[in-house]
Structure 1
Amino acid sequence: MKILLTGGSGMVGRNIRDHVTADRHDLIAPRSAELDLTDSAASEAYIARTKPDLIIHAAGRVGGIQANVADPVGFLVDNLDMGRNIVMAARKAGVPRLLNIGSSCMYPRAAPNPLEESSVLTGELEPTNEGYALAKVMTARLCDYVSQSTPELAYKTLIPCNIFGIHDKYDPAVSHLLPAIIRKVDQAKRSGVDSVEIWGDGEARREFMFATDLADGIWTAVARFDELPGMMNIGVGKDHSINDYYAAVARVIGWNGTFIHDLSKPVGMKQKLVSVRLQQAFGWMPQTPLDEAIAITYSHFRALNDATEEPKS
């Protein structure tokens, strides 16, 4: 197939491109300089010209709690524009299939765990990333509306749990939890610091999937698109406390210091574990154990840092 991938330069997009299945298709992954998804006219023109058989919409402005709290307007508007423009341009061009990549932030903050797909739009969202979540909910709902009103078009949404891995972002201004932990613990080890700070009490629970596994799940969804539900979670089916993730990173890196909790800092939702009931029925589950995924990610992080550090004279 000819497949248009948005967000091909991001972590999820790059893992999709790196997957062995990518070579079996004519995969188009324009950079933002080539296709500005916040420009509706440009999006329409690009899709009309390229005529893809399927679109994977993985583009988005992403970041952790700190980034979302600092710029809620940007996270809402940018993601809203990107989602609307790509879906409506695809609809206008008659693209038959679209796979929208959502986010577990779409779930209400008080929804019972594990989070069932039917819980979307049933309650108040988590305030620390509400703008981003609203944009993702809108795009998923727009896909539903298009599919309902135009039966020959199948626009579906995958809702991943939290993702980390190769090509992740480690800048504390934009990073998510696990890459932030990797950076902090690595700095502590390399500088000889014997303690690392954790925001909150560390008891909040999160589910993380290795980005390489997510890419495999996305390509499986592409190959078996007609079997895919209109909206489906994609996760590992197990969560850990933030304290557990810090301990796992310290174990993998080989740092033996202590952790200090700053109870004044925001922590987000107390738990965010997606239900994998539909995913298991679909017949796919991730394969990479947590410690192995952390080790691979850490190796990539160190390679990036070693490449940018100036050689000592």
Structure 2
Amino acid sequence: MRVLLTGGNGMLAKAIAAAWSEQDRPDDLIAVTRAEADLRDQAAVRRMVDDLRPDMVIHTAARVGGIAANIADPTGFLMDNLLIDSNLLSAATSTGVEKFIYFGSSCMYPRDYRQPLVESDVLAAPLEPTNEGYALSKITAARYCEYTARQHGLDYRVVIPSNLYGPNDDFTPGRSHLVAATIAKAHAAKESGADSIDVWGDGTARREFTYVGDLASWVVASLDAIHDWPTLLNVGQGDDHSVLEYYQAALETVGYSCELATDPSKPAGMHQKLMDSSLAKTFGWEPRTSLAEGMRYSYDAYRSSLV
């Protein structure tokens, strides 16, 4: 089996490639990056799929960013992701790719809805405005996968992970997600001897984060069983923590202590979006990495990248 893996330079794709090697799968894994094919370019995507003729696609590529980035450019997050997903999905279906794993996002779920969130809650109520553009693009692609599976009988499945973190995360200020941002800020505070770290919002918003290596290992180990998966499948850690708790964990990880200066005037997004991953557990999902362990692995990788 030939498997096309998109987003080859991204955190999730690199973790999948590592798990592929560790599990010694006999199939050919072909990881592609933007340098090899800009997925926003329809002709380039079609040429790539025609040339590679994959039996399966694992689609991790996306334009992603933290809350500040989403607020600053909602049109970009909407249109870039719509182009990426529509180009690849249409090329895959038209060339007869029978298996496709699409990675959605917990942003697809309604704002301030019931907790924990189940797969049928998608489109049940209005979305969180701060990342609505990104969420709409992910919902659109997820629906396409559902339609394709139903209309053509193909194994097109949508994995909805919680927020992810780990080695190869994006620690860039303004672009990083919460855990990466807390680690980078805690490290910078330690290096400069800062008295405080600025925190958007009042710090009480809660987020669920899953260590990327756990998700990657499960996906690689489960590839042969995706025909039995439901079309949508939540895959998360199973518990959540407040923003302040993540910052405190980051400070403990880097070995520093300072004030956390909250700013309630700044947007904090949804108050909570814990997902119910009980369906995934029936297919062998069992996250093993604790937050303390995952943060340590992430911080070690971050420090190595600074050398």
Interval containing the TM-score (normalised by the shorter chain): over 0.9
> For residues 286-297 of structure 1, what are the structure 2 equivalents within 5 Å?
286-297=287-298
Amino acid in structure 2 at the alignment position of 1:202: G
Aligned structure 1 segments of 4 or more residues deviating by more than 6 angstroms: none
Greater CA drift, 247-256 or 180-189 = 247-256
Kept in 2: contact 1:110–1:124 (CA 8 A): no
Q: Distance in 2 between matches of 1:139 and 1:288?
A: 30
Match in the other structure for 2:18: 18
Superposed displacement of residue 126, structure 1: 0.7
Aligned partner of 1:90 in structure 2 is 92
More displaced, 37-46 or 18-27? 18-27
**Cα distance change of structure 1 residues 297 and 216 upon mapping to structure 2, 3 Å threshold:** same
Check whether the contact 1:3–1:55 (CA below 8 A) recurs between aligned residues. Answer: yes
Matched residue type, 2:228: E
The whole-number CA distance in structure 2 between the counterparts of 1:36 and 1:248 is: 37
Aligned counterpart, 1:202? 203
Deviation at 1:23, TM superposition (A): 5.1
Q: TM-score, normalised by structure 1?
A: 0.95
Provide the rounded CA distance (Å) in 2 between the counterparts of 1:163 and 1:132.
16
Paired residues for 1:1-313 under 5 Å: 1-19=1-19, 20-21=22-23, 24-151=26-153, 153-305=154-306, 307=307
Deviations 1:71-102 (A, max 9, x none): 11110001011111111111000111000011
Quote the Cα distance in structure 1 between the aligned partners of 2:114 and 2:226.
Answer: 29
Identity level (%):
45
The CA deviation at 1:133 is 0.5
CA distance in 2, matches of 1:249, 1:75: 28
TM-score normalized with structure 2 length: 0.96
SS in 1 for 2:230: coil
77 and 195 in structure 1: CA distance in 2 versus 1, 3 angstrom threshold: same
What is the deviation of 1:299?
0.7
Q: Does the CA contact (< 8 Å) of 2:218 and 2:284 recur in 1?
A: no
Aligned length: 305
Q: Distance in 2 between the 1:128 and 1:104 partners?
A: 13
Q: Secondary structure at the match of 1:27?
A: strand
RMSD: 1.2
Contact 1:110–1:123 at 8 Å: present in 2 too?
A: no
Structure 2 unaligned spans of 5+? none
Q: Give yes or no for contact 1:221–1:228 (8 Å, CA) kept in 2.
A: no
Name the SS for the 1:190 alignment partner.
Answer: helix
SS in 2 for 1:76: helix
d(CA) in 1 for partners of 2:284, 2:14: 24
**Residues 146 and 157, structure 2, Cα contact 8 Å, conserved in 1:** yes
Aligned to 1:311: none
Structure 2 residue identity aligned to 1:55: V
